[in-house]
Amino acid sequence: MELTLQNEASGQTAANRGGQAGVTLLGSGSRGNALVVHGERGSLLIDAGFSLKQTLTRMQECGIDIDTVGAILVSHEHGDHVRGVGVVSRRMRVPVFCNRAAAGAIRERGLDGRGAINIFSAGGSFDFDEFRVTPFSVPHDARDTVGFSIDIGSFRIGVATDLGHATQPVLHHLRECDILVVESNHDPAMLRNSRRPWPVKQRINGRHGHLSNEDCMQLLQKVVAPRTRHVIMAHASEECNRYELVGDLAGQCLESMGRADVAVGIGRQDRPLPTCFVGG
Ligand SMILES: [Zn+2]
Ligand SMILES: [Zn+2]
């Protein structure tokens, strides 16, 4: 696997466990989401919300060989997560994994590219190559949205990018992660003052919408563990948030927890983040 190691972790605990795992956020926001989870031998793409061209360009920019990608996991059927799923899976010749509800929605919209879709159920785990994947239910206004916790050897990566609030099961699955990818969607005041129609504001702010910055910081306080080395803030709204604000809040939050050592990445819509690794 050819990768550009731009942001290696120096964590003792991780290094002592041997092996390597990592995450490249290719881009995140309401116009498209995709990230790559790296193992020792291969990788998984989580969500395919960009066009084929954008997906390939961003992967190339990050030094990721598409031949290393073994499968695409889909969190839910919203367009910003599945727009490219058919074309990308066809081009990469890899299977798609999602739950039954998302598969139905993807097929109805003709986004499956006539490829095979493998069905998983939230709450159970399945193995794919070196990855043990555990999809878990999150409250969001799609048919059946999931987050993922992914074990690679002794490393764990947690991903929850679209959720209205953090339930106990969500907190459970995001604890004990070496790398966390969590949503910090909006600043409540910016959302209130935005020109979005009232029902949209209510939807975003609701229990099945998106996590505000404050919600996200509360989530971090509950789930950041001694082993956590990287936190990636995802799905920030371009209209109702500022990347700098998210970075400041996350920095303050981690400092208040005595965890200023945790590296913070702010996911952006328009470009990928450098790959972050643990171990190796
Ligand atoms: Zn969504
Ligand atoms: Zn989304």
Domain-embedded: residue 224:
yes
Question: What is the 216 CA–ligand 1 centroid distance (Å)?
Answer: 16
Report the CATH number that the domain containing residue 159 is assigned in CATH: 3.60.15.10
Where does the pLDDT of residue 17 fall: very low under 50, low under 70, confident under 90, or very high at 90 and above? low
Does residue 11 sit in helix, strand or coil?
coil
If you average pLDDT over every residue of the chain, what do you get?
A: 93
Q: How would residue 14 be classed by pLDDT, with cut points 50, 70 and 90?
A: very low
Is 191 inside a domain boundary? yes
Task: Say how many domains are in the chain.
Answer: 1
16: confidence class by pLDDT, cuts 50, 70, 90: low
Q: State which residues form the domain around 119.
A: 21-273
Ligand nearest to the CA of 141: 1
Does pLDDT of 5 surpass 60? no
Other beta carbons within 10 Å of 61: 14
> ∠1-82-270 over CA atoms, to 5°?
70
What are the backbone angles phi and psi of residue 106, rounded to the nearest 5°? -65, -45
What is the Å distance from ligand 2's center to 235 Cα? Answer: 7
How far is CA 276 from each of CA 4, 130, 135, 194, 269, rounded to the nearest angstrom?
10, 19, 22, 33, 18
pLDDT exceeds 90 at position 226: yes
Asked whether the whole model's pTM tops 0.75, one would answer yes
Is residue 174 one of the residues assigned to a domain? yes
pLDDT tens-digit profile of 30-78? 999 999 999 999 999 999 999 999 999 999 999 999 999 999 999 999 9
Lowest mean pLDDT among 13-22, 106-115, 145-154: 13-22
**Within a domain: 109:** yes
If one counts every other C-beta atom within 10 angstroms of the C-beta of residue 238, the result is 13
Which residues have CB less than 5 Å away from ligand 2 (the ion)? 80, 162
The ligand with the least distance to the CA atom of 80 is: 2
CA of 51 to the centre of ligand 1 (A): 17
Domain assignment present for 9: no
264 Cα to the center of ligand 2, angstroms = 20
The CA 204 to ligand 1 mean position distance, Å, reads 10
Query: How much is the average pLDDT of 198-208?
Result: 94
Q: Which of 234, 247, 252, 242 is nearest to 180 (CA)?
A: 234
Residue 102 pLDDT > 50, yes or no? yes
Mean pLDDT, to the nearest integer, of 125-153? 97
Examine residue 15 and state whether it is found in any structural domain, yes or no: no
pLDDT higher than threshold 70 for residue 4: no
Ligand nearest to the CA of 138: 1
Which ligand minimizes its atom distance to the CA of 146? Answer: 1
The alpha carbon of 162 and the centre of ligand 2 are apart by a number of angstroms equal to 5
Share of the chain above pLDDT 70, in %: 94
d(CA 180, ligand 1 centre) in Å: 18
Answer whether residue 201 is part of any domain.
yes
- Checking if the pLDDT of 220 tops 70, the result is yes
Ligand 1 centroid – CA 150 distance (Å): 20
8 pLDDT band (50/70/90 cuts)? very low
Q: Does pLDDT of 7 surpass 70?
A: no
Q: Ligand 2 center to residue 120 CA distance, Å?
A: 20
Angle at 74 between CA 246 and CA 153, to 5 degrees: 80
Instruction: Report the amino acid identity of residue 183.
Output: E
Residue 1, pLDDT score: 37
Ligand 2 centroid from CA 201, angstroms: 15
Residue 272 alpha carbon to ligand 2 centre in Å = 16
Structure tokens at 198: 């009232």
Ligand found nearest the CA of 139: 1
* Per-residue model confidence as pLDDT tens digits over 168-181: 999 999 999 999 99
